[in-house]
Structure 1
Amino acid sequence: MAERKTEIAIIGAGTAGLAAERSARRAGARTLLIDDRFAGTTCATVGCMPSKLLIAAAKAAQGIREADRFGISAGPVRIDGKAVMQRVRRLRDDFVSSILETFDALPADSKLKGKARFTGGTTLDVDGLAVEARAIVIATGSFAMVPKPYRDLDNLLTNENVFELDDLPASLGVIGAGPLGLELAQAFARLGVKVQVFGEGGKIAGLGDAAVATSLRALLEKEFPVHLDVEITPEKVSGGTRIRWSGKSEGSAVFSHVLVATGRPPKLDGLGLEATGLDLDDHGTPVFDITTLQCGAAPIFIAGDTNAKAPLLHEASAEGAIAGHNAATFPKVTPSKRKTMLAITFTEPSSAMIGKPPEDDTIVGEADYSDQGRARVEGRAGGLVRLYADPKGLLTGASMAAPGTEHMAHLIAWAIESRQTAADLLNLPIYHPTLEEGMRGALRQICKTAALPVPEDRDEGNAAGV
C-alpha cells in the first residue's frame, strides 16, 4: 500500500475543514485536506445561499401581492417557476465557484481526493492510500436524514435536491417544523405552492420560549397550515403522496412532492471511529471538549456540523479555526472562549435564539410588536420579543419572532458579549421610528425588576414608538 505522511490531516473540505486547514497552516504546520468530492461547502451548495435566493424571490412576490394595503395596485402576481429556479441555481453556482477557486489555490500536494477511514489513532486509509499524520481534524459535516417511511416515496425532496427542481411543485408537504423546513415552506407558499407543514414534536423554528413560539406560529399560519405534535403516515398514491396525520390535529392530504426536513445528523458512517479508541456518545459522536475541540486526550479534533453542537456556519468557521490551531500545536492545546450563541431562522417574521435560555432566577422583559409603530407603518405588525437578564439586570439571552429580528438579534448578541445591562442599552442612541426602539419596553421591565435606574427618555412607557 502506498504511504503518505503529513503533520495535520483534515477530513472534510467544508466550512469547518477549510477554516481548520487555514488555521493549522498559519500556525506553521504542513497540512493535507482530504475530501471525497471537493464540491463546495454545504452553505454554498445546498444550504444558506440557495435557500436565501428562493426566499428573496418569494419576498418579491409577496411584496406585489400585499401592495394593495398601501393603495398600490400591481395586478395579479404571475410567477414563472422555471425562471425562479434557474436564477436560484445560477447565483448558487456563482457562490460555489468562489469556494472552488479556494480549492484550486491550494498547493496540489496539500489536498487529496478520496474517502478517508481511520485505521488507527493517527492513521487513515484514503481509497487505498495510507496516510499518517501527527494530528487529525474531523470536519466531515452532516447529511440530510430521511426517516425510513419516506425513503421510497416518489418526488421526495431534501435540502440536497430541492434546488435542482426545474419548476415549482404543485403542492408540498413539509415534514419538520425546524428552521430549514419553515424557511422553505414559507418561500414556496409565497411562490404560489400549496404548502402544509408537519412536526412530530411541539417546537417550531427550534424556539424554546413557548410564548414566542406561539406568536410565530400564529403569524405563519396566516400563510400555510402548521400541524405540530402529530403522528405522520406517508403513502404513495396516484399523483403523489398522501400524508395522514393524527394527534393534536388530524387529517389527510395529497401532495405532488414531500420535503423532508427532519434534521441533519453528523456524517460519521464509514469513518472507522472504532479504530481510534475514542469514547463515543450515545449517537456515535466522539466525546470532545467544547473549548478546545479535542477528543479526549487524543491528537484528534472535531469541528463544525460533525460534532452536532451548533450546526451553524459561523460556529463551524470558528470551530474549524480552533481545531486547526490546536491540532498544529498539539500536545499543547489552548481553550478558547466561545462567542454568544446566535441562531436565526429567516422566515417573515424572522425568529432568533440568542445566548442562554432562561433559568429560575432569570428576569424576562417582553415587547409585543402587534402595535409597534414602525412595524405598523410597514404593514408588518405582529410578533413578540422576550429579553432575558440575570437578577442584576445583566443581559443573558433572548428569544425573538418579530419584524427585523435578524438585525435586532445581532444587537442583543453584541450586548451580551459586551456584558451590558438593560440600563446600559437604554442609555445608547435609539433612533425613531425604528423597529429597534420597540425593545425599549422590554428593557425597562428588566430595569425595574432588577432595581436599576430607568434612564429618562422622551417617550416613557410608549413601546409602540409613535
Structure 2
Amino acid sequence: MKQLQADVVVIGGGTAGMGAFRNARFHTDNVYLIEGHAFGTTCARVGCMPSKLLIAAAEARHHALHTDPFGIHLDKNSITVNGAEVMNRVKSERDRFVGFVVSDVEEWPADKRIMGNARFIDEHTVQIDDHTQIKADRIVIATGSRPVIQPQWEALGDKLIINDDVFSWDTLPESVAVFGPGVIGLELGQALHRLGVKTEIFGVGGSLGGITDPVVLAEAKAIFSEELPLHLDVDPEKTEVKLNQEGKVEVHWVCGGERGVYTADYLLAAIGRRPNVDKIGLENLNIELDERGVPKAHPLTMQTSIPHIFIAGDASNQLPLLHEASDQGKIAGDNAGLYPNIANGLRRSPLGVVFTNPQIAIVGLRYARVFERYKNPECVAIGEVSFRNQGRSRVMLVNKGHMRVYAEQGTGLFIGAEIVGPAAEHLAHLLAWAHQQKMTVPKMLDMPFYHPVIEEGLRTALRDVNSKLKLGEVHTECAECPGA
C-alpha cells in the first residue's frame, strides 16, 4: 500500500472540497484531494444547473399555453413536447457546465488528486480503498450529501428514482409521484407537470417549499394546488407504496379525511438529503457529533471538536446550498492551511430561492427563527404585500403571491423575509444585501425605486412594516432581545 505524508488532506471533490483544496494550497503545496466518484459538483451534475434547464423548457411550454389573456391566440394543438429533445438539451448543457468544473480540476497537479473512498484510521490518518494511506497534519471533511430513501421504497427497484436519475432520462415519462414538497421536489414536480408529465406531490406535516410563515405558506398552497395535485399532510402509517401487476408504482394515500390511489411510472424521492459521513470511519475518532451523527463545527471557522479537523459543505449539516458550500470550503481550506493560526471567515446573510413559478425566497431570519430569537412577539413588526394587485405584476399577468418582511422594534433593523411571488429571486437579493449591511427599514426606504417595476411591491411591504415600528422604543420585556 502506498504511504504518503501531507500537510492537508481534503476528503471530497465537490464544491466545498474544491474550495478547500484551492484555498489550502495558498498556504502549502503539500495538499491532497480525495474523491470517491467523480470530480465536479452536485450543482453542475445533478442539481441547480440541470434542474434550471428542465425548468426553462417547462416555462417555454407553459407560456405558449397561456397567451390568450394577452389577446395572443395560438393553436394549442400544435404545441407539443418532444421529450427526447428536451432531455438532450438538458444533458448537453449540463455536460458543458460539468466540463468547466472538470477543466479547473485538471489544472491541479495530477499526483495531488486521488480517486477512491477515504476512511479515517485515526485522527491523522486516512486510507483510500486498499491502495493508499495518508498521514496528514490537518484534514477537511467535504464529502457532500445524498438523497434520503425510505427503506420500504427499495422494493420498487428501478421505479424508484432520485434527482440524479431524472437528468439521465433520454425522454420524459408519462407520470411521476413526487415524495417531498421541498425545494427539489417542488421544482422538479412543477417542471415535469408543465412539460405534460402527469405529476402529483406528496408530503408530511403540511410544509411546502421550506416556507415557515403561515400567511405566505397559505398563499403558496393556494397557488400551487391550483396547478397540480398536492397531498401535503399524508399519514405515513396509512400510506402504502407498491408495484402493481403492470410494474407501475401505486401510491395508496391517506390525507386528512381523504384517501385515494395514484398510479405512476416512477416514484421520485425528494424528502431530504443526508450528509455523507456515515461511511468515513468517524467511529475511529473521538469527535463530537450532533443528533444525526454529523461532526459539530464552529460556524465561522468550520473547526470540529478535534482542532485539526474541519468540515464544510453539505457534509456539515448546515445549509445545503452551493454558495454556502463554497464559502464553507474556502473557510475550512484557509484554516486548515494556516492551522494552528485560524480565523473566522465571512458568513453571508442567509439567502435561499426555490425556482418554481411563482418563485419562493427566504432571506435573513425566516419566520420560525424570528420567533425563536425574539421570544416576545411585541419585539417584532411585520409588513406585507399581496402581488395580486401589484401594478407591474398585473401588467405581466404574474400577479400571484405574497411577501412578509420582519423588522426589530426599537431599532427598525430589517431582520428577515419570506416570499412567494414574481421575481422573488431578484427581490431576495436586494433584501439579502440590505440584511448583510444591517440596514434599517427607514434606510431601505431611502433607496431608489423605479416605476413601474415589481420592486415597488417590496416598497409597499417596507412602508407597511415602517408604519408599525416604534423607533427608539424598547419594551421592558424585550430587554433580552438581540438589538435591545
Report whether the alignment pairs 1:99 with 2:101: yes
Q: 1:389 aligns to what?
A: 407
Q: How many residues align?
A: 453
Task: Give the conservation status (yes or no) of the 8 Å contact 1:143–1:265.
Answer: yes
- CA distance in structure 1 between the partners assigned to 2:104 and 2:394 by the alignment: 45
Q: 1:236 aligns to what?
A: 243
Q: Could you tell me which of 290, 307, 317 is aligned with 2:316?
A: 307
- CA distance in structure 2 between the partners assigned to 1:39 and 1:28 by the alignment: 21
- CA distance in structure 1 between the partners assigned to 2:105 and 2:464 by the alignment: 51
Q: 1:185 aligns to what?
A: 189
RMSD of aligned residue pairs (Cα, Å)? 1.3
Q: Deviations over 1:43-82 (max 9, x none)?
A: 0111001000000000101110011111112222211011
Q: 2:337 aligns to what?
A: 328
Q: Deviations over 1:276-320 (max 9, x none)?
A: 211112211112111111111431000000011110000000000
- CA distance in structure 1 between the partners assigned to 2:182 and 2:206 by the alignment: 10
Task: Give the conservation status (yes or no) of the 8 Å contact 1:397–1:416.
Answer: yes
Q: Could you tell me which of 394, 398, 407 is aligned with 2:426?
A: 407
TM-score, L = length of structure 2: 0.91
Cα deviation, residue 162, structure 1 = 1.0
Structure 1 unaligned blocks of 5 or more: 454-466
| Cα pair distance change 1:243/1:446, threshold 3 Å | same
Q: Could you tell me which of 350, 361, 370 is aligned with 1:341?
A: 350
- CA distance in structure 2 between the partners assigned to 1:74 and 1:149 by the alignment: 46
- CA distance in structure 2 between the partners assigned to 1:396 and 1:316 by the alignment: 23
* 1:27-426 map, 5 Å: 27-76=27-76, 77-128=79-130, 129-153=132-156, 154-231=158-235, 232-237=239-244, 238-248=246-256, 249-357=258-366, 358-359=370-371, 360=377, 361-391=379-409, 392-426=411-445
Task: Give the conservation status (yes or no) of the 8 Å contact 1:61–1:191.
Answer: yes
Q: Deviations over 1:217-250 (max 9, x none)?
A: 1111121011111123201112511101113242
Q: 2:456 aligns to what?
A: 437
Q: 1:456 aligns to what?
A: none
Residue type of the partner of 1:234? V
Cα deviation, residue 165, structure 1 = 1.2
2:164 partner SS: coil
2:220 partner SS: helix
2:292 partner SS: coil
Task: Give the conservation status (yes or no) of the 8 Å contact 2:231–2:255.
Answer: no
Structure 2 unaligned blocks of 5 or more: 372-376, 473-484
Task: Give the conservation status (yes or no) of the 8 Å contact 1:355–1:413.
Answer: yes
Task: Give the conservation status (yes or no) of the 8 Å contact 1:140–1:306.
Answer: yes
Task: Give the conservation status (yes or no) of the 8 Å contact 1:393–1:446.
Answer: no
- CA distance in structure 2 between the partners assigned to 1:250 and 1:396 by the alignment: 41
1:398 partner SS: strand
- CA distance in structure 2 between the partners assigned to 1:270 and 1:297 by the alignment: 18
Cα deviation, residue 362, structure 1 = 1.6
- CA distance in structure 2 between the partners assigned to 1:394 and 1:387 by the alignment: 11
TM-score, L = length of structure 1: 0.95
Residue type of the partner of 1:449? K
Task: Give the conservation status (yes or no) of the 8 Å contact 1:423–1:452.
Answer: no
Q: 1:457 aligns to what?
A: none
Q: 2:476 aligns to what?
A: none
| Cα pair distance change 1:155/1:44, threshold 3 Å | same
Identity %: 40
